[in-house]
DNA sequence: TTTAAAGTATCTATCAGTAGATAGTTATAT
DNA sequence: ATATAACTATCTACTGATAGATACTTTAAA
């Protein structure tokens, strides 16, 4: 893993625990074994780092979801796949969804970060709409909104209560 | 409004926009017209301020909700009342739910703040369980979890997309 | 094929600004 | 007189950011 990738990973862990202000160049530099000034070589500003972090997170998330048609072709329910990905993010990493937390902080984010967070939800809603449509839902667009809202909310409250069983109950 | 109340109000606005790290003693002191050192007279530490903020927010929220039995006696649906309170918080104030945002940041909060955030959701779930029970739901506890998760998630994503119509769609 | 230039990745040193917090002082009001 | 609510002054720690130097690697030109 390159230093740049390591910096992004270190930042991701901290942001997913406490939001955009929960990491500093010094902290993540220490963790990967360079000086804070050197972080600016890879990311001119903190906003640049935050934006790239959200962008890559979104790409990785959508990549992990895969293609709706392929899922259907395997006789699987894409909504179950989606739910499972959220569940893993919470249970395995024991952390919030990066873009969920950043989204809640929207108004205090730099513009370029805000834009990437919006991209995450736009793409998620598009994927879910396609999924519900493939499932024969009568209102796929509305169902998509309900799905992502419920999952993000359940995740948030599971963290607030520090109780993973909450998420399981909310998504069963 | 006393200085102390004004400090809490100023802090609340900032926290609801960007989380616990989104306000400083200096900022809120300037806003109410005192010096940052004087804030420590009212709140020994920032954690004390945060905890009292979340506590009062919770009390005000539950007070605004009112009593389930009285709502039912007026032939109103308490779940509609609950939804409407969330909607107003978002549409009128144009801000996130304080405890929703803090809950997502859970791991980076001081202990006493974390405790108050947990109290918010515990009390919300109890109120909703009673409400769903009064509505004759077969699984009031489960319904309560779904209700608060959906509303918090819809609120979060409305902020992320900067689009209030999203919340309306999610809650119709 | 050697040389020159450019790019990569880091360093040290430093900056102005802000953070929360403390000690000790002063004014005001009961 | 005492408690309340503010003040001034100051502290240490941390923030993101910049300047300038160094070593190493890669590319391009003579």
A94 to chain B: nearest residue by CA?
B107
DSSP A3: H
Q: How far is the CA of A149 from the C1' of D6 (A)?
A: 46
Q: Note the pLDDT of residue A129.
A: 98
CB A87 within 8 A of CB A145: no
Q: How sure is the predictor about A1, in pLDDT bands with cuts at 50, 70 and 90?
A: confident
Mutate to test the interface with A, among B90, B149, B172 (most CBs of A within 10 A): B149
CB A79 within 8 A of CB A131: yes
Identify the segments of chain B with pLDDT beneath 50.
none
Enumerate residues 6+ apart whose C-beta is below 8 A from B20. B50, B102, B105, B108, B109, B113
Domains of chain A: 46-171 (1.10.357.10)
What tokens were used for A33? 């074994």
Give the pLDDT mean for A16-28.
96
Q: Which residue is nearest to nucleotide C19 (CA to C1')?
A: B24
Mean pLDDT of chain A: 96
As a whole number of angstroms, the distance between CA A15 and CA A102 comes to 8
Q: Which residues 27 to 66 of B reach strand D, CB within 7 A?
A: 29, 33-35, 37-38, 41-42
Helix (H) or strand (E) holding B52: helix B46-65
Counting one residue from A and one from B, how many pairs have CB atoms under 8 Å apart?
148
Summarised one tens digit per residue, pLDDT across range B85-104 is 999 999 999 999 999 999 99
As a whole number of angstroms, the distance between CA B149 and CA B147 comes to 6
Mean pLDDT of chain B: 96
Q: Note the pLDDT of residue B172.
A: 87
Task: State whether B145 and A117 contact (CB < 8 Å).
Answer: no
B152 to chain A: nearest residue by CA?
A153
The residue among A66, A161, A42, A57 whose CA lies nearest residue A102 is A57
Q: Note the pLDDT of residue B1.
A: 82
Give the pLDDT mean for A112-139.
98
Q: Note the pLDDT of residue A57.
A: 97
Give the pLDDT mean for A106-126.
97
As a whole number of angstroms, the distance between CA B128 and CA B144 comes to 5
Give the pLDDT mean for A48-64.
97
Q: How far is the CA of B29 from the C1' of C16 (A)?
A: 22
Q: CB of A108 within 8 Å of any CB in chain B?
A: yes
Q: Is the pLDDT of residue A121 over 90?
A: yes
Nearest CB to A17; choose among B108, B157, B159: B108
């Amino acid at each position: 893993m390159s230093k740049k990738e390591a910096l992004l990973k270190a930042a991701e862990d901290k942001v997913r625990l406490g939001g955009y202000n929960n990491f500093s160049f010094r902290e993540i530099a220490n963790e990967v074994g360079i000086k804070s000034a050197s972080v600016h070589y890879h990311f001119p500003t903190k906003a640049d780092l935050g934006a790239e972090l959200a962008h890559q997170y979104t790409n990785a998330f959508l990549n992990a979801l895969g293609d709706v048609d392929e899922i259907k072709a395997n006789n699987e329910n894409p909504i179950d796949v989606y739910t499972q990905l959220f569940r893993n993010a919470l249970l395995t990493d024991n952390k919030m969804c990066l873009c969920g937390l950043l989204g809640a902080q929207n108004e205090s984010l730099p513009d370029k970060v805000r834009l990437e967070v919006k991209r995450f939800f736009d793409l998620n809603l598009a994927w879910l709409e396609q999924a519900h449509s493939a499932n024969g839902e009568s209102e796929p667009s509305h169902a998509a909104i309900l799905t992502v809202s419920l999952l993000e909310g359940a995740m948030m409250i599971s963290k607030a209560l520090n109780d993973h069983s909450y998420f399981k109950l909310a998504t069963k």
